[in-house]
Amino acid sequence: MRLILLGPPGAGKGTQAQRLVQKHGLVQLSTGDMLRAAVAAQTPIGLQAKELMASGQLVPDEVVVGIIADRIEQPDAKNGFILDGFPRTVPQAEALDGLLKKKKLNLDAVIELRVNESALLHRVEKRVVEMLARGENVREDDKPEVLSKRLHAYREQTEPLVHYYSEKRKLLTIDGMMTIEEVTAEIERVLAAVIAADKSADSAKAARRKSAAKTGKAAGTAKKATKKAAGQSAKKTTKKAKKGTRTASKSAKKGSAGSARRGAAVKVRTKARRAGKVAKKTAKKAVKAVKRLTKRG
């Protein structure tokens, strides 16, 4: 499971992130912690970040993305992770999308803890008073005036991510003004729905692959059967054609012989008719000659 927690300072992201880590075995990835770890390990990108920080420059997005890319390759992140403090801007979110796509990973959900800023400031002021009453030190970030500045920065830089991830249908919004336990229960409820939807999608995908495999197999079988039938049909057709050719050849021969015999008979009959005519003419001449001789005698 790969998650992002969104929400203004004081919304309770850190508390809920720790609960998710314990329940689901995820790794909480803080950009600050990752930068310090990369610098300490003296990785190539860590050394680059060290030089930038030493010169007082902000670490650019591509360096932060590079550190995240290295971190999520580690074994403890294989089960999933929660990004803390990144992305803070839309360009960072786009860079993260490119990284996950390159690694063929999906972002499962972006959980927004929505709070009322006035109520949040009042909550912080109350907490500061209680800490002071107990004699505890108050962190600079917990002071109301500092929180006001951080809330303004959140609205300007990070809040556009709500619209960005909403368009991608990754955003799950939860009322961060509920109690800690209620927020935790609601996060678990929406994540259970996401997991169920993912399983359903995976099952549907597997069913489509299985169906496609069956269809392909059936198509292959049909192709073979068609080819076999076509081959058999071609053989039969060829055999019939050969037989027809032989029959035609015999008929032609018979026809030729018959024609020759009929031709000879015609010639004989013609000659006989001619001979008969000649004989008749000769007989007539003989009769005429006899009659002439009789008259003279």
CA 142 to chain centroid, in Å, comes to: 47
| Residue 133, strand partner residues | none
Q: Which of 101, 126, 150, 281 is catalytic?
A: 150
3-state secondary structure of 77: helix
Residue for token pair 């021969």: 253
Q: Which of 23, 78, 103, 139 is catalytic?
A: 139
Active site (annotated) includes residue 139: yes
Task: Specify the length of the chain in residues.
Answer: 297
Active site residue 127: yes
Instruction: Kindly name the residue from 2, 13, 50, 71 that is annotated as catalytic.
Output: 13
Alpha carbon distance 86, 65 (integer Å):
9
Distances (CA, A) of 116 to 94, 131, 194: 28, 22, 26
Output the six-digit token pair for 134: 């107990």
Residue 19 burial (10 A CB sphere; 0-12, 13-18, 19+):
middle
**Cα(212)–Cα(218) distance, rounded to whole angstroms?**
10
Give the span between the Cα atoms of 264 and 103, in whole angstroms: 96
Is 36 among the residues known to form the active site?
A: no
Residue 142, classified by CB atoms within 10 Å of its CB into exposed (0-12), middle (13-18) or buried (19+), is middle
In the residue annotation, 150 being an active-site residue is answered as yes
Can you read off the two tokens belonging to residue 179?
A: 């109690």
Catalytic residue among 19, 127, 143, 170: 127
Catalytic residue flag (residue 88)? yes
Tell me the catalytic residues: 13, 88, 127, 139, 150
